[in-house]
Amino acid sequence: MDKTPPHIKATVLQLTQVARKFAQIESLPIMVEEGLVISTREAHTIQSVGDESCTNVTDVANCFGITKSAASQLVSKLSGKGFLVKQQSAHSNKELQLSLTPLGWQAFEAHEHFHGKDMNRVVSSMKKFSTEDIATLNTLLKTLNTIMDERLDSESEE
């Protein structure tokens, strides 16, 4: 018989529901302009290039937990659609520097608008919690992230 305490079961259920809803939201297309939509995955890549947290393909792979090959394909797709420019890096012949085109900046702004309202609500809500509460939540999320990474790694090994 399962002896998991009810409060832990209830919390896991809430996390599962949040994860499912987050996945649904992440699958919604984002309109850049009339007749032009991008996926959330594309928007997040554009966002990371625009805010300079990802300036090359390796950064994209590391940032999103995908292979360099998948990152390269994603970057090429976005480049082909006119959102990104790939240029030779000033400090390496092997590395390509990523930057946004004007259309890329338009997509960046569309993504900011699409998710910005939700993010502001989350941040506003979290400001009501104590620093200790936020630290506990952060520890829980890190633990869950580690468990999920281990599961994904074991799946890829099989």
Interval 102-113: pLDDT, tens: 999 999 999 988
Which residues lie across from 100 on neighbouring strands?
Answer: 84
- Mean pLDDT on 142-154: 88
Q: State residue 65's pLDDT score.
A: 81
Paired sense of beta strands 84-89 and 36-38, if any: unpaired
What DSSP letter does each residue of 94-124 carry, written as one string?
A: EEEEEEE-HHHHHHHHHHHHHHHHHHHHHHH
Instruction: Kindly tell me if the per-residue pLDDT of 157 is higher than 80.
Output: no
DSSP string across 20-78: HHHHHHHTS-EEEETTEEE-HHHHHHHHHHHTTS--SHHHHHHHHT--HHHHHHHHHHH
pLDDT in tens, 129-140: 999 999 999 999
> Interhelix angle for 102-126 vs 40-50, to 10°?
90
pLDDT at 26: 80
Bridge-based pairing state of the strands 92-100 and 84-89: antiparallel
Beta carbons of 83 and 100 less than 8 angstroms apart: yes
How many whole angstroms separate alpha carbon 32 and alpha carbon 103?
A: 8
Rounded Cα–Cα distance for residues 103 and 80 (Å): 12
Contact status, residue 45 vs residue 60, Cβ threshold 8 Å: yes
What share of the chain has pLDDT > 70, as a percent?
99
> Would you say 77 and 66 are in contact if contact means Cβ atoms under 8 Å apart?
no
